[in-house]
């Protein structure tokens, strides 16, 4: 078993990679109980990897290895806590889960103390604990292996049950599957260590470096998996998520329609930042309200009867025609002209049954809107600029969409 993950030149890069992800999660992904448990799990994992780096110092080799074993046991207590949180109801008291975890932590602490006491002679002699069928090796093996096996079995039992239920989203199933496989990998390593201790087979060399390498590999795999929510949060803050992209695509249409019908813009209750999903919902509502208000101003279009309650929007020609009508209607209302007819909801070019369908239709309209109403069109509101805002508001000189 290679040990380059814990003692080779690349070890610091591995530690840095894990530290960046853990630090990012501590800052940005910490809202739920599960997030907090996962973050603490990887803090202990990081501590264990740092202790393995200390083994390169001759005077600290024995103690650092023993404390690192304790860190590994401590990480498994968080796995048991994850299993516990999955078993209780969603509205359960988080304090009860943390009390459960404290009991597990006391078990891990007792195991660590036992490992350190059993390794006293090894520290005095400046060597690693010899995993042999003697007092030192057996006590260390039991103190390390029993709580590790107990906690990982609890986690895997719940994980397999959740995988069999089929109720999890695909991404959560992938995460859980990877963690269960990593746990099985740990069990295989432990089985080989027990066999090597009592029978001498297989001859894989020193056991403690192998334990360190297995631990490091599992941490790297699992921390990469849990980095996905962090990447999503960063993407949202950078305006790269789907909602923010839709906001940017709707912005020209929203800006021109609300310039013609400014009274439909909802004023925020407080000057606080709202996420892109909430902004997108408000923009679609305000665009829909603007379409209703502009209905009486829509001119008739050749080939598209104004009395048709639901127009076919599958054709780009129909969408472009409606966009042209809408541009004239916005211009007429903005300049105080009289309506050309009595508008109502039936004058909308389509009727959507759900938000996703409506959003797709509005995005289709926004796609042709810029071509139908080029820069400087009558629908643009001069002097309407206000300070730009995050995500979908990065167009200099545009009035900001709802917050």
| pLDDT digit string, tens, across residues 249-261 | 999 999 999 999 9
Q: What is the pLDDT of residue 373?
A: 67
| Buried b or exposed e, range 175-191, using 16+ CB within 10 angstroms | bbebbbebbeebeebbe
What's the mean pLDDT in 354-379?
A: 77
Q: What is the pLDDT of residue 222?
A: 94
Residue 250, C-beta contacts closer than 8 angstroms, at least 6 positions apart? 280, 283, 284, 287, 362, 363, 366, 392, 401
Residues in the chain: 403
Q: What is the pLDDT of residue 379?
A: 46
Q: What is the pLDDT of residue 2?
A: 53
Residues of the chain within CATH 1.20.1070.10 domain(s) are 4-238
Q: What is the pLDDT of residue 268?
A: 58
Strand partners, 389: 393
Q: What is the pLDDT of residue 90?
A: 61
Where are the alpha helices (H) located in 119-169, listed in sequence order? 120-124, 135-165
Q: What is the pLDDT of residue 289?
A: 92
Strand partners, 304: 301
Q: What is the pLDDT of residue 55?
A: 77
**Is the pLDDT at 194 greater than 50, yes or no?**
yes
Round to whole Å and give the CA distance between 55 and 35: 31
**3-class SS at 304?**
strand
Q: What is the pLDDT of residue 400?
A: 46
Summarize pLDDT for 55-64 with one digit per residue, the tens: 777 778 899 9
pLDDT band of residue 208 (cuts 50, 70, 90) is confident
Q: 374 or 111: which carries more pLDDT confidence? A: 111
Q: What percent of the chain clears pLDDT 70, i.e. is strictly above it?
A: 80
Q: 175 or 290: which carries more pLDDT confidence? A: 290
Q: Which residue has the tokens 């969603």?
A: 90
Q: What is the pLDDT of residue 350?
A: 61
**Is the pLDDT at 384 greater than 50, yes or no?**
no
Round to whole Å and give the CA distance between 210 and 204: 8
Summarize pLDDT for 20-76 with one digit per residue, the tens: 999 999 999 999 999 999 999 999 999 999 999 887 777 788 999 999 999 999 999
Summarize pLDDT for 295-314 with one digit per residue, the tens: 888 886 555 444 343 444 44
288-to-264, 266, 305, 351, 361 alpha-carbon distances in Å: 10, 13, 21, 11, 11
Round to whole Å and give the CA distance between 13 and 137: 32
Round to whole Å and give the CA distance between 152 and 143: 15
CATH code of 4-238, in short, is 1.20.1070.10
User: Per the structure block, which two tokens stand in for 230?
Assistant: 């962090």
Summarize pLDDT for 80-113 with one digit per residue, the tens: 999 998 887 666 688 999 999 999 999 999 999 9
pLDDT band of residue 236 (cuts 50, 70, 90) is confident
**Is the pLDDT at 143 greater than 80, yes or no?**
yes
**Is the pLDDT at 390 greater than 60, yes or no?**
no
What one-character DSSP code corresponds to residue 263?
G
Highest mean pLDDT among 249-253, 326-330, 349-353: 249-253
Q: What is the pLDDT of residue 207?
A: 87
- Helices 11-28, 33-54: inter-axial angle, 10-degree rounding: 160
| Buried b or exposed e, range 55-82, using 16+ CB within 10 angstroms | beeeeebbbbbbbbbbbbbbbbbbbbbb
SS3 assignment for 171-237: HHHHHHHHHHHHHHHHHHHHHHHHHHHHHCCCCCCCHHHHHHHHHHHHHHHHHHHHHHHHHHHHHHH
Q: What is the pLDDT of residue 67?
A: 96
Q: What is the pLDDT of residue 309?
A: 38
């Amino acid at each position: 078993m290679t040990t380059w993950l814990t003692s080779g030149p690349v070890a610091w890069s591995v530690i840095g990679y894990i530290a960046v992800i853990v630090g990012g999660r501590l800052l940005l992904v910490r809202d739920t109980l599960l997030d907090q448990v996962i973050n603490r799990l990887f803090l202990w994992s990081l501590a264990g990897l740092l202790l393995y780096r200390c083994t390169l110092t001759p005077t600290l080799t024995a103690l650092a290895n023993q404390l690192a074993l304790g860190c590994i046991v401590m990480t498994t207590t968080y796995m048991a806590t994850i299993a516990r949180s999955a078993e209780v109801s969603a509205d359960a008291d988080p304090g009860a889960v943390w009390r459960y975890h404290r009991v597990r932590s006391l078990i891990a602490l007792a195991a660590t103390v036992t490992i350190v006491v059993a390794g006293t002679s090894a520290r005095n002699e400046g060597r690693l604990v010899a995993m042999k069928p003697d007092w030192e090796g057996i006590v260390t093996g039991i103190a390390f292996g029993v709580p590790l096996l107990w906690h990982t079995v609890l986690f895997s039992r719940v994980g397999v049950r959740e995988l069999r239920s089929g109720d999890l989203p695909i991404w959560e199933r992938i995460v859980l599957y990877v963690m269960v496989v990593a746990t099985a990998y740990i069990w295989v390593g432990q089985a080989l260590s027990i066999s090597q201790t009592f029978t001498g087979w297989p001859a894989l060399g020193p056991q403690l470096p192998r334990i360190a390498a297995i631990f490091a590999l599992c941490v790297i795999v699992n921390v990469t998996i849990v980095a996905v929510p962090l990447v999503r949060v960063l993407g949202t803050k950078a305006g790269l998520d789907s909602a923010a992209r839709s906001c940017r695509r709707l912005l020209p249409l929203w800006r021109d329609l609300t310039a013609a019908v400014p009274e439909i813009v909802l004023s925020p209750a407080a000057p606080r930042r709202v996420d892109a999903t909430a902004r997108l919902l408000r923009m679609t509502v305000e665009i829909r309200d603007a379409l209703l208000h502009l209905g009486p101003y829509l001119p008739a279009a050749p080939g598209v009867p104004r009395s048709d309650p639901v127009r076919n929007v599958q054709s780009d020609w129909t969408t472009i025609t409606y966009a042209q009508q809408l541009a004239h209607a916005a211009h007429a209302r903005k300049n105080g002209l009289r309506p050309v007819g009595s508008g109502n909801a039936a004058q909308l070019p389509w009727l959507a049954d759900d938000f996703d369908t409506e959003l797709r239709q509005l995005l289709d309209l926004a796609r042709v809107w810029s071509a139908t109403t080029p820069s400087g069109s009558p629908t643009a509101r001069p002097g309407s600029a206000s300070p730009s805002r995050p995500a979908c508001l990065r167009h200099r000189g545009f009035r900001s969409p709802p917050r």
